[in-house]
Amino acid sequence: MDFIRITKRDNLSRKKEILITLLAIVLSIVFAGIILLIFGLNPFEIFKEIIMGSVGTGLRVKQTIVKAVPLIITSMGIIVAFKMKFWNIGAEGQITMGALGASWVALNLSPNLPQPVMLLLMMVGAAVCGGIWAFIPAIFKAKLGTNETIFTLMMNYVAIKFVTYLQYGPWMDPAANGFPKIAMFPDNAVMPKLGGVNIGWILAILAAAFVYFFMNYTKKGYEITVVGESIETARYAGMNISRIIVVAMLISGGLCGITGMIQASAIEKTLVYGIANGYGFTAIITAWLSKLNAGYAVAVCAVFAMLIQGGQYIQIALGVPSAVSDIVQGLILFFVLGSEFFMRYRVHIGRNSKEVA
């Protein structure tokens, strides 16, 4: 009798794993092209313009780097949490609270402080606030076993609404004539540029290097990985599970908070309720597609930054909705996640040899 059987793979060579991933990406592009054709669009022209819109000129390259920076740093934070199988869906809120912490420092300390000192204090404030926002679901998970996915997701909205309250209430700029906005940062609280791009790109490189070293060459990084692979094994080895969860989430939230500081200081130059701009959710995709590898994540984030920048460009240049790039992003995620199945399982089509015998 003919039928389909699925068996678990014992192991898969690195070469085959890369081949399956590349095939998944190619298929996602093919299917994206088919969908564009259905919409009456020329897929070759769209893909060409997305690439040209992201790297076609020096200015566009700089804009792509600006969009890659928050993706990279946030992805690093998510990788630390996901390695432990703590599904931190709250990066959006942690970015927002990090921006709030940095903004409090910028608006309340002296505008005469040296710029490096001000920026360093803003970064500390952002990391602390982002870390605290991640600490709350972490301690509930560690002590009460709550569902971290729902907890962290709901805290996104709490953070955004809290900043909205500040923007429309206590922190509203009196000089704005009733317009709901928070005062602009003083000059010493605005990140300088290097190479035509804000120095956030340096922080992104440092964050990637830190996470790579931390996860691969430190005891705490090893413990996080062990907890992610098997809590029972970690407990048998005498590891303090609760402490590991809290430490990992403090690091995760702190990195996401630094993203908020960069967005507030270098991009908005003030605090707004939508400051996370969806980077917290997009970084979940990039972290997962990179297979939780800090090095791969940098490359994946660069590609997604190109899609974001290219999507904005085609909206202006061709009058095509920027959602077109979202379709491409979604299909890449769908096919790459689907390829995970074929990496873990083998599909047999045909007769069972034992049954024939």
295-313 tens-digit pLDDT:
999 999 999 999 889 888 8
Tell me the C-alpha distance between 156 and 126, whole Å.
16
Confidence at residue 245, expressed as pLDDT on a 0 to 100 scale: 95
Domain ranges of the chain: 1-41+320-357, 42-319
pLDDT value at residue 2: 52
Say whether pLDDT at 1 is over 70.
no
Mean pLDDT of 277-281: 92
Quick check: 8 pLDDT over 80? Answer: no
CATH of segment(s) 42-319 = 1.10.3470
Of 329, 276, 290, 285, the closest CA to residue 126 belongs to 276
- β strands within 149-253, DSSP E: 193-194, 197-198
State how far the Cα of 135 lies from the Cα of 302, in Å rounded to an integer: 29
347 sits in which H/E element = strand 345-350
**pTM score of the predicted model:** 0.90
Residue of 172, 173, 204 lying closest to 191 (CA atoms): 204
- Mean pLDDT in residue range 249-278: 96
Q: Average pLDDT of the chain?
A: 90
Predicted confidence (pLDDT) per residue in 53-97, tens digit:
999 899 999 999 999 999 999 999 999 999 999 999 999 999 999
